[in-house]
A and B are shown apart, each in its own frame.
Chain A
Amino acid sequence: MAKLISSHITFQELQDIVELLGKVSGFDLSGYSKSSLKRRIQRILDLEQMDVVDLKNAIVNVEGFQTYLINEVTVNVTEMFRDPRYYMALRGDVLPYLETFPRLKLWSAGCSTGEEVYSLAIVLAEADLYKRSFIYGTDVNSNVLETAKKAIYPLKRFKIYSENYNATGTCNSLSDYYTAMYDAAIIRADIRKNVLFSQHNLATDYVFNEFQFISCRNVLIYFDLELQRRVFQLFYESLSEFGFLCLGAKETMVNHEIRSKFKVVNKEFNIYQKIK
């Protein structure tokens, strides 16, 4: 226990680690929220029983450690139909508008293990829009994307996923959309059809397509205001006219000038529409 107490890193040590990682790799964590990032790094030190010197050494000298670090630092908590009422809001406020576009491209930015992408696919399919839709899921973490591509999840999670799904006000059953085998379940092939997962780093990468809908929920909370500004600009440039941007429940655009180029479609669920 004594080691844990003395091994708490300081903000200065955190900054040194971030600078070192930036120098020797392509990963730039300088725009991450400091206290949150510090706890993430502390967690890795505790897990690996390392101190700061060990960590710096591993960043420079241990093959694969940089990727491991990024994968561990990023938070990958997700569920199918997380915040069920958000999906109700999509059905009520967003889909009627999306219907008017001939082709739909959607982007789930920070998609983690893909549950949100497949939830969107199901909602689109039920509105008869999926056949003209394509969903891109991106994340900075390469590990989670492998899970997302496979679309195989532990069966025990589907208890909560089903509860969520039922709470979205549907008459269907989530079990219509997956096939269970032993202790795992795979998302049905026609739901997996129009999706693509690839690595994209919101902190350093650029616009790669034009979208009618971007969902980025519980990602910006990990970024400081400056990096948030970059990402909002990136989303703005990636959205077509009257495209939608959906943020997480605690996230907000109010701190940013770009807010004036969007209209609030749903205040509670932070759904915005590009109007300028």
Chain B
Amino acid sequence: MNKAKDIVLIGGSAGSYTLIVQILEALPQRFDAAIAIVIHRNPRFTTKIEETLSIKLRRSVIQPRDKTAIAPNIIYFAGPGYHLLVEPDWTFSVDVSERIHFSRPSIDVLFDTAAEVYQDRCTAFLLSGANQDGADGIRRVREMGGKAIIQSPDDALIATMPTYAIQANAESDVYDDQQIISFFRKLT
């Protein structure tokens, strides 16, 4: 099975959804990386993010199941109620361990495990949100040789999450929305 050699991560919470849609709309038809996204969402309300986006974008938008191989050109969303993790054999796993920063799925969990497996082939974006999830994950991505980018708090609808991540990670890259969208437009 063909597995993605590069992974691009997006972590967002309150106020990030509109930008995520813009990002995905900007994507080229074909790219070799896999995209994995964690948005904080409540398992008690069924949302149809994947279905809606699949139709809107006319491409595969998937909630990975346990041990799903990470494939190129696919957009994955962490399902509500489960952490999404990357395993060393380039598959996803899920678990229901403790919430991190009151969140399951947690951005830190995905970023931490993906950073370790993909190392310098991992790029992570942390967007708008109202809590502190993602700051540790950003640090891990950088430690493992990956590239970490934080949305400019000036552009974020709710600046708490990016602001905290910037404070916790001196010298991290901060992009405004146009720079972020531009990155995805040129994704290979």
Residues of A that sit less than 8 Å from B by CB: 5, 8, 11, 33-36, 39-40, 43, 75, 77, 218, 220-222, 224-225, 228, 249-252, 255
Contacts and interface: CB of A to CB of B under 8 A. Distances in A.
Given A251-B66, A252-B66, A36 B93 contact: yes
Contacts of A40: 97
4 nearest A-B residue pairs (beta carbon): A35-B113, A33-B93, A35-B85, A221-B66
27 contacts: A8-B140, A33-B87, A33-B93, A35-B85, A35-B113, A36-B85, A36-B93, A36-B95, A39-B85, A39-B97, A39-B109, A39-B112, A39-B113, A40-B97, A43-B98, A75-B95, A75-B97, A77-B97, A221-B93, A221-B94, A221-B96, A222-B95, A225-B67, A249-B81, A250-B82, A251-B66, A252-B66
B39 interface: no
A36 B66 contact: no
Interface residues of B, number: 24
A40 B112 CA distance: 13
Contacts, number: 63
B38 interface: no
Contacts of A34: 87-88
Most chain B CB within 10 A, of A36, A225, A251, is at: A36
Contacts of A250: 65-66, 79, 82, 94
B96 A75 contact: yes
A28 B139 CA distance: 32
B116 interface: yes
- Is the contact region of chain A dominated by helix, strand, or loop, or is it mixed? helix
Interface in B41-77: 65-67
Contacts of B87: 33-35, 224
A5 B97 CA distance: 21
A152 B45 CA distance: 29
Contacts of B88: 11, 34-35
A250 B81 CA distance: 10
Contacts of A75: 95-97
B117 interface: yes
Contacts of A218: 96
Interface in B78-121: 79, 81-82, 85-88, 93-98, 109, 112-113, 116-117
A222 B83 CA distance: 12
B154 interface: no
A251 B87 CA distance: 16
Contact of A5 (B95, B113, B143): B143
A207 to B, nearest CB: 24
Interface in B8-66: 65-66
Nearest to A78: B96
Contacts of B113: 35, 39
A5 B115 CA distance: 14
Most chain A CB within 10 A, of B66, B96, B113, is at: B66
A162 to B, nearest CB: 14
Contacts of B85: 33, 35-36, 39
Contacts of A43: 97-98
A160 B25 CA distance: 38
B117 A35 contact: yes
